[in-house]
C-alpha cells in the first residue's frame, strides 16, 4: 500500500509518499520562511498564494522521489484541520481533484493527529518504533501547545488533558525573537544562542506550574518589560544569556507538566512532538526528567517534528486501515477535531 500525504495548513507546502509499514519513500517540503521573514510572522494571504504556486511541483517531486506514478498511489491523505483557512483550502482542493481523477480514496486528516503519530514514521534504515498505546503526548508547535492521552491512532481515541490558555510555546519563542531583533522564526535562533548562554543569568518566573494547562503570554510580557527598561543586550554573551534564560523558563514548564501529567494518568510511555520538539534544550530536559522517573521517552527526529506530508500520510493510513474514508465534499476547518477542554483567556475555571 502506498499513501500520498499532502500538508498545507500553515507555511510549508509538503507532500510525501509512505508505504503500509510507515516507511517514508519520499518527503518534500517547500518552506515559506524567506517569504514571511520580513514580517516577523506568517501572513495568511501570502501563505495561501505560495501554496497555490508550489503544490503541484511539490507533489510531482514527491512522486518522482518515491519512483512511482500517481496511478500507483492507493489513497490520498490531506490536512483538513486545523490551520489557516486559505492555506488549508489549497491542499484540500488539490487532493480532492487528484482523488477524483485517479478514482482513489480520500482521507481528511487532523494536523494535530499527524504530529502525535509522527513518532511511528520510519526514515532510511530505522527499525519499527517499539511504542504501544496508550501513551502521553506533549504537542508543542508554533500554534499549539497541549497534553494528550493517546489511546489509539484515530482522532476519536485521542483526548486533550490540557492546552495553552493564550500563546503557544512556539509563538512565545517567535515573539521573544522579534523583541530581541533576532529574526523569524524565533525558536531555532533562540535555541542556538541558548546553547552558549547561562540559563540562570536571569530569574524568569515559571508560569502556571500547577495543573495541565499552559500560559506563555506572561513570559513575553516579562521580556518586553526587560527590553523596555534595559534595552536589548549590548554584547553577544549578554544576548546568549538572555536567550538561555528565556528558553529555560519555557522548557521547564513544558517538561515538568509532561511528567506530572504522566504520573496523574498512570502512563509510563511519553511522546514529544511538534515543531518545538526539535528544540535541543527541550529534548534534553524532557529526556532527563523521564529517565529520573523511569519513563520511556520517544521523540521523532527533527525532520519529523516540523510540518511534513509524511505524518499526514501516516495518520491517513491509520484511517484507511480502520476502513474510513471521506467523500469529495470533505470540508476544511480552522479548528481541530479533537475535543477541547481548555478555555482560552484568564480567570478561574
List, for residues 125-173, the tens digit of each pLDDT value: 999 999 999 999 999 998 999 999 999 999 999 999 999 999 999 999 9
Per the prediction, the chain carries an average pLDDT of 96
> Residue 230 contacts by C-beta under 8 Å, 6 or more apart in sequence?
none
Q: Compute the radius of gyration of the chain from its Cα atoms.
A: 20
d(CA 78, CA 6): 5
| pLDDT tens for each residue of 198-231 | 999 999 999 999 899 999 999 999 999 999 999 9
**Domains of the chain by range and CATH?**
2-123+303-321 (3.30.420.40), 135-300 (3.30.420.40)
**Predicted confidence (pLDDT) per residue in 236-256, tens digit:** 999 999 999 999 999 999 999
Do 147 and 173 contact (CB within 8 A), yes or no? no
Q: How far, in Å, CA of 96 to CA of 65, rounded?
A: 22
246: left (phi over 0), alpha (psi -120 to 50) or beta: alpha
pLDDT tens digits along 296-333:
999 999 999 999 999 999 999 999 999 999 999 999 99
By the 8 A CB rule, do 66 and 2 touch?
yes
Task: Yes or no: say if 338 and 158 are a contact pair by the CB < 8 Å rule.
Answer: yes
Rounded to an integer, the average pLDDT of 173-194 is 94
Residues 6+ apart with CB under 8 A from 294: 268
Amino acid at each position: 500500500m502506498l499513501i500520498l500525504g499532502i500538508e498545507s495548513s500553515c507555511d510549508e507546502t509538503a507532500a510525501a509518499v509512505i508505504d503500509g509499514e510507515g516507511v517514508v519513500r519520499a518527503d518534500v517540503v517547500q518552506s515559506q520562511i524567506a517569504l514571511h521573514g520580513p514580517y516577523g510572522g506568517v501572513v495568511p494571504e501570502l501563505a495561501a498564494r505560495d501554496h497555490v504556486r508550489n503544490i503541484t511541483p511539490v507533489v510531482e517531486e514527491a512522486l518522482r522521489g518515491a519512483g512511482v506514478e500517481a496511478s500507483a498511489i492507493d489513497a490520498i491523505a490531506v490536512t483538513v484541520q486545523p490551520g489557516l483557512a486559505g492555506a488549508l483550502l489549497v491542499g484540500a482542493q488539490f487532493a480532492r481533484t487528484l482523488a477524483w481523477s485517479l478514482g482513489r480514496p480520500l482521507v481528511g486528516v487532523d494536523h494535530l493527529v499527524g504530529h502525535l503519530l509522527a513518532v511511528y514514521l520510519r526514515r532510511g534504515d530505522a527499525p519499527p518504533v517499539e511504542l504501544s498505546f496508550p501513551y502521553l503526548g506533549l504537542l508543542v508547535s508554533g500554534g499549539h501547545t497541549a497534553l494528550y492521552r493517546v489511546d489509539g491512532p484515530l482522532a476519536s481515541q485521542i483526548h486533550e488533558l490540557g492546552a495553552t490558555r493564550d500563546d503557544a510555546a512556539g509563538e512565545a519563542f517567535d515573539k521573544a525573537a522579534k523583541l530581541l531583533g533576532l529574526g523569524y522564526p524565533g525558536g531555532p535562533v533562540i535555541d542556538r544562542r541558548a546553547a552558549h548562554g547561562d540559563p540562570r543569568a536571569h530569574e524568569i518566573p515559571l508560569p502556571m506550574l500547577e495543573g495541565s494547562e499552559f500560559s506563555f503570554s506572561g513570559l513575553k510580557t516579562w521580556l518586553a518589560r526587560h527590553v523596555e527598561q534595559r534595552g536589548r543586550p549590548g554584547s553577544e554573551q549578554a544576548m546568549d544569556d538572555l536567550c538561555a534564560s528565556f528558553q529555560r523558563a519555557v522548557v521547564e514548564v513544558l517538561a515538568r507538566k509532561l511528567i506530572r501529567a504522566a504520573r496523574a494518568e498512570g502512563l509510563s510511555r511519553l511522546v514529544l512532538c511538534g515543531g518545538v520538539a526539535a528544540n535541543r534544550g527541550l529534548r534534553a530536559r524532557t529526556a532527563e526528567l523521564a529517565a529520573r522517573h523511569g519513563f520511556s521517552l520517544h521523540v521523532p527526529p527533527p525532520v519529523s517534528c516540523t510540518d511534513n506530508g509524511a505524518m499526514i500520510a501516516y495518520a491517513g493510513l491509520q484511517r484507511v486501515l480502520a476502513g474510513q474514508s471521506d467523500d469529495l465534499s470533505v470540508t476544511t476547518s480552522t479548528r481541530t477535531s479533537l475535543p477541547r477542554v481548555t478555555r482560552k483567556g484568564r480567570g478561574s475555571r
